[in-house]
Amino acid sequence: MKDRFLLENIISLIKSAYRMIPAWIRVAVGVIISAVLAWLAFRDQNLEEVLSAFKGYPVIDALLCLLLFFISLWFRAVRWRVLLVDEKTSTFQLFLTQNAGTGINNMLPVRILSEPIQLALVTRNYGMKASTALATLVTEHVLDVFATACLMGLGVLLLPEIRGFSLQMIGSLVLFTVSVSVLLLMARGGIPGLPFIGRIRYIQQWTQAMATLRHEPKRLILSFVSTVVHWLCLGASGWVLADALGMDLHFLAVVVMIVAATFFVNSVPSAPGALGTFEYAIHVTLGFFGVTGGAVVPFSLSMHVILFVPPACIAMFVVPQLGIGLFNLRRELSKDTLKDSDGSKQQ
CB pairs under 8 A, 24+ apart, for 321-327?
322/121, 322/124, 322/125, 324/117, 324/120, 324/121, 324/124, 324/125, 326/104, 326/117
pLDDT of residue 116: 76
pLDDT of residue 193: 44
- Cα 334 to its chain centre, rounded Å, is 24
pLDDT of residue 341: 43
How far is 127 from 336, CA to CA, in rounded Å?
9
Residues 6+ positions from 73 with CB-CB distance below 8 Å: 95, 98, 99, 230, 310, 311
How far is 292 from 99, CA to CA, in rounded Å?
32
Out of 26-35, 168-177, 190-199, 229-238, least confident range: 190-199
Q: What is the mean pLDDT of residues 37-44?
A: 82
Phi-psi region of 238 (alpha: psi -120 to 50; beta: other; left: phi over 0): alpha
Write out pLDDT tens, residues 187-229.
554 444 444 444 444 455 555 556 666 667 788 889 889 999 9
pLDDT higher than threshold 60 for residue 52: yes
Percentage of the chain beyond pLDDT 90 is 20
Q: What is the mean pLDDT of residues 245-266?
A: 86
Highest mean pLDDT among 17-31, 113-127, 278-292: 278-292
pLDDT of residue 203: 52
Which is it for the CA torsion 163, 165, 170, 176, positive or negative? negative
Contact between residue 213 and residue 219 where contact means Cβ atoms under 8 Å apart: yes
Q: What is the mean pLDDT of residues 314-333?
A: 61
Which of the two residues, 139 and 253, has the higher pLDDT score? 253
Q: What is the mean pLDDT of residues 31-37?
A: 82
Q: b vs e for 287-317, b when ≥16 Cβ sit within 10 Å of the residue's Cβ?
A: ebbebebbbbbbbbebbbebbbebbbebbee
Contact between residue 146 and residue 140 where contact means Cβ atoms under 8 Å apart: no
Mean of the per-residue pLDDT values of the chain:
75
Residue 51 pLDDT level (bands cut at 50, 70, 90) = confident
Write out pLDDT tens, residues 70-95.
999 999 999 999 988 777 889 999 99
3-state secondary structure of 43: coil
36, 265, 272, 273, 326 from 27: Cα distances, Å: 14, 15, 8, 12, 17
120, 258, 287 from 161: Cα distances, Å: 42, 15, 10
pLDDT of residue 230: 95
How far is 236 from 24, CA to CA, in rounded Å?
38
Residue in 251, 246, 253, 243 with CA at minimum distance from that of residue 285: 253
Q: What is the mean pLDDT of residues 293-315?
A: 90
For residue 286, count other CB atoms closer than 10 A to its CB.
Answer: 23
18, 108, 110, 280 from 271: Cα distances, Å: 15, 8, 9, 13
Which of the two residues, 323 and 124, has the higher pLDDT score? 124
pLDDT of residue 200: 45
Is 217 exposed, middle or buried (CB count within 10 Å of its CB: 0-12, 13-18, 19+)? Answer: exposed
3-state secondary structure of 249: coil
- Cα 63 to its chain centre, rounded Å, is 23
Which of the two residues, 65 and 215, has the higher pLDDT score? 65
Residue 13 backbone phi and psi in degrees, to 5: -65, -45
How far is 279 from 51, CA to CA, in rounded Å?
17
In terms of residues, how long is the chain? 347
DSSP 172: H
Model-level pTM? 0.76
Residues 6+ positions from 343 with CB-CB distance below 8 Å: 129
Contact between residue 227 and residue 82 where contact means Cβ atoms under 8 Å apart: no
